[in-house]
């Protein structure tokens, strides 16, 4: 695994969309002292009293919205999309093979499989099935959910597989042998835990996991990184780095790039600050770059740094959002001259980048739409630049895979709101990429059109949003409109094709809108930082401004305007409910944060202090309480109908916040509050396509019904 991939894995542990922690089975520390909260008993996740309440709530919600032909029709139409054999089987190259994980009606838990490029080009390629998860579950009497693989290059014969017992993020890790298609007897095996693991060589791995008391940070992630030798007990693994309890997460990785083999330690202090060390001959060499750098990427002879804030070094100031490069060995030797590869402006931001063997591909957002640039390092230290052919209007083009050790091959995903996704393959220097696979058309896109609008938020900032609506839509305020948002953790909401949304919302005559509010990454670090901590309400003001603009333009009216968001977007929904109830007729609040007073004591909450602030600090609670829905909900208010849904196995945000909010509102006498909790699926709300279809259909049917 490259350092870039390893660091992304380590930092992703803290993301509210991708954290990894155990859900708590009993009330969190400090619960007993919080006597003003009568719903603390719901924090006992698997407790009998709490689960009886969940079952009763589920029965009421299911009877109201799921026990009817309309729901069944919507669910089945969504499931057809998710299970379609014509979907694109996205692949990852590993040596001579293309690997894919596939779920469908016949294989609900999925097949891990591979094929060759020659076969993959065919309409119906032949796949070599490596592991059938459904067959594994039958043989072991389990309900495993596949969570990914890490295979040892360059021959990729041995892999470390991650299996979740319930769809959550805590996983069991097992070593798997590709030639025999079997788990390795007496191979590397780690019990279910919050684990980070990666290959050093065939007989050694780096591992961070729950080694016992004190081995995890207060954020519930690995505090200690160890090197573990095959054939020895985990207790004999050698510590290579030990972090502090208040650190977020520690991870170690080995870069196996031929000729550039190196070892690194990543110390994430919080979600936005980390230190990187090269581990060489038993000594740590600190990479002296800003701790808030978004990316520190040693790759072959290069060191790339992506900046969150401006950095003055070597007599030059590099701006926030820039991507800069230097020779790795020169940097270690003390030189500090960088070449600027990308600088954002008011309209652009770097979405991502990917190496091939001889080139660097940049994925740039220009007013939230895609542009691809190709950079090539030259012998004189400069970089040549050329544009890749443009994408369709209002689309997203992203690099989904490359083969940087061996070739200049690249794979592109091309998608848009009304354009079914396609997968293209190309080799830089050998002409344009060729389309290999097409997603089927799941709804008639010819009836709709996409437009982009900008509206001024409360402080005058222009906020973009995308609108997908029937052509010549009547601006009479009567259109059922669904407004979706997220607004956090530098996550950007770009154009994408969704057969589920097309079938469940657009085909019924609805309008679908995505708000690119602050807190996201649509305009780089500045867009995210504008809504951090005390400035979090800017995100909510932006979303409310978009809602108001839709009403002002006559697209919809409050009675016909619904809102949807999950995770951090669930917190957004909670604030729309409590701060801007007059704008909405219904809100779907999914796997949400809501109790910002106690969030640091629930599941992975301590990981996100850098985003929201620490409510245990009275000075910070003074601003956090202004956007804590659980504390701000009041009796006798005119709230819109609201659905809270979550999962028992969600070990990122956890189910307790949605439970408590629903119970509190019902305790206040509100009748338009609905709750549903799936048992499996983790933070994604579904362990298989059937469960995912059910949850999506429930949200859409609730919104459609309430927005009459």
Q: What residues are labeled active site?
A: 567, 683
Q: How far apart are CA 427 and CA 636, in angstroms?
A: 63
Helix (H, G, I), strand (E, B) or coil at 459: coil
What is the rounded end-to-end Cα distance, in angstroms, of the chain?
51
Cβ count within 10 A of residue 155: 13
Tell me which residue of 91, 140, 146 sits closest to 688, measured CA to CA.
146
Q: What's the burial of 317, exposed, middle or buried (CB within 10 Å: 0-12/13-18/19+)?
A: exposed
E strand or H helix at 99: strand 97-102
Cβ pair 175, 187 in contact under 8 A = yes
* CA max distance for the chain: 73
CA neighbours within 13 Å on the CB side: how many for 364? 23
Tell me which residue of 453, 663, 491, 467 sits closest to 567, measured CA to CA.
491
At residue 198's C-alpha, the angle toward residues 197 and 199, to 5°, is: 140
Alpha helices in 66-112 (DSSP H): 69-83
Cβ pair 658, 648 in contact under 8 A = no
At residue 663's C-alpha, the angle toward residues 661 and 668, to 5°, is: 95
Cβ pair 48, 198 in contact under 8 A = no
Q: How far apart are CA 140 and CA 131, in angstroms?
A: 14
E strand or H helix at 376: strand 369-377
Burial 448-485 (b: 16+ CB within 10 A, else e): bbbebeebebeeebebbbbbbbeeebeeebebbbbbbb
């Amino acid at each position: 695994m490259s350092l870039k991939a390893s660091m992304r894995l380590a930092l992703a542990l803290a993301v509210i969309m991708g954290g990894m922690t155990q859900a708590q089975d009993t009330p969190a520390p400090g619960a007993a002292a919080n006597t003003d909260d009568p719903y603390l008993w719901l924090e006992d996740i698997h407790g009998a009293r709490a689960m009886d309440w969940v079952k009763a709530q589920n029965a009421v919600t299911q009877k109201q919205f799921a026990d009817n032909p309309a729901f069944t029709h919507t669910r089945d139409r969504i499931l057809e999309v998710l299970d379609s054999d014509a979907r694109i089987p996205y692949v990852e190259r590993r040596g001579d093979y293309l690997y894919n994980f596939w779920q469908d009606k016949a294989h609900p838990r999925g097949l891990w499989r591979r094929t060759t490029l020659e076969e993959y080009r065919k309409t119906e390629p032949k796949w070599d099935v490596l592991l059938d998860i459904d067959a594994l579950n039958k043989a072991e009497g389990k309900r495993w959910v596949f969570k990914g693989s890490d295979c040892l290059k360059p021959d990729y014969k041995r892999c470390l597989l991650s299996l979740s017992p319930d769809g959550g993020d805590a996983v069991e890790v097992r070593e798997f042998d590709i030639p025999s298609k079997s788990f390795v007897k007496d191979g590397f095996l780690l019990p279910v835990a919050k684990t980070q693991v990666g290959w050093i060589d065939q007989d050694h791995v780096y591992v961070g996991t729950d080694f016992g008391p004190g081995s995890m940070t207060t954020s519930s992630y690995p505090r200690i990184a160890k090197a573990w030798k095959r054939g020895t007990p985990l207790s004999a693994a050698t510590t290579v780095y030990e972090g502090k309890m208040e650190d977020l997460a520690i991870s170690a990785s080995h870069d196996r790039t031929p000729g550039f083999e190196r070892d690194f330690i990543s110390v994430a202090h919080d979600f936005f600050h980390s230190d990187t060390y090269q581990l060489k001959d038993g000594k740590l060499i600190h990479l002296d770059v800003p701790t808030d750098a978004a990316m520190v990427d040693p790759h072959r002879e290069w060191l790339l740094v992506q900046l969150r804030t401006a950095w003055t070094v070597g007599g030059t100031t590099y701006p926030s959002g820039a991507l800069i490069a230097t020779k790795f060995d020169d940097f270690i030797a003390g030189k500090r001259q960088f070449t600027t590869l990308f600088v954002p402006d008011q309209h652009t931001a770097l979405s991502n980048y990917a190496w091939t063997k001889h080139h660097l591909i940049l994925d740039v957002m220009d007013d939230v739409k895609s542009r691809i640039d190709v950079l090539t390092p030259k012998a004189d230290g400069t970089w040549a630049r050329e544009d890749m052919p443009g994408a369709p209007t209002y689309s997203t083009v992203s690099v989904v895979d490359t083969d940087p050790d061996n070739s200049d091959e690249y794979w592109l995903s091309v998608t848009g709101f009304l354009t079914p996704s396609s997968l293209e393959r190309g080799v830089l220097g050998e002409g344009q990429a060729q389309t290999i696979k097409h997603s089927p058309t799941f709804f008639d896109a010819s009836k709709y059109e996409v437009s982009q609008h900008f509206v001024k938020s409360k402080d005058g900032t222009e906020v973009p949003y995308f609108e997908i609506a029937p052509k010549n839509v009547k601006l009479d305020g009567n259109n059922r409109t669904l407004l979706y948002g997220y607004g956090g953790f530098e996550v950007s909401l770009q154009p994408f094709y969704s057969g589920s949304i097309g079938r469940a919302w657009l085909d019924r005559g609805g309008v679908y809108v995505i708000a690119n509010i602050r807190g996201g990454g649509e305009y780089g670090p500045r867009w995210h930082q504008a809504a951090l901590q005390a400035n979090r309400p800017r995100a909510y003001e932006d979303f409310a401004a978009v809602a108001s603009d839709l009403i002002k333009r006559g697209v919809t009216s409050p009675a016909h305007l619904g809102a949807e968001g999950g995770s951090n977007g669930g917190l957004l929904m909670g604030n729309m409910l409590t701060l801007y109830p007059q704008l909405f007729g219904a809100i779907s609040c999914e796997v949400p944060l809501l109790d910002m007073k106690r969030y640091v004591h629930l599941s992975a909450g301590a990981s996100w202090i850098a985003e929201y602030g620490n409510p245990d600090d009275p000075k910070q609670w003074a601003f956090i309480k202004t956007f804590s829905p659980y504390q701000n909900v009041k009796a006798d208010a005119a709230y819109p109908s609201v659905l809270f849904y979550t999962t028992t196995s969600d070990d990122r945000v956890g189910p307790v916040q949605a439970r408590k909010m629903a119970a509190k509102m019902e305790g206040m006498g509100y009748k338009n509050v609905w709750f549903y909790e799936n048992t499996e699926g983790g933070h994604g709300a579904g362990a298989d396509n059937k469960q995912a279809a059910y949850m999506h259909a429930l949200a859409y049917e609730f919104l459609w019904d309430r927005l009459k």
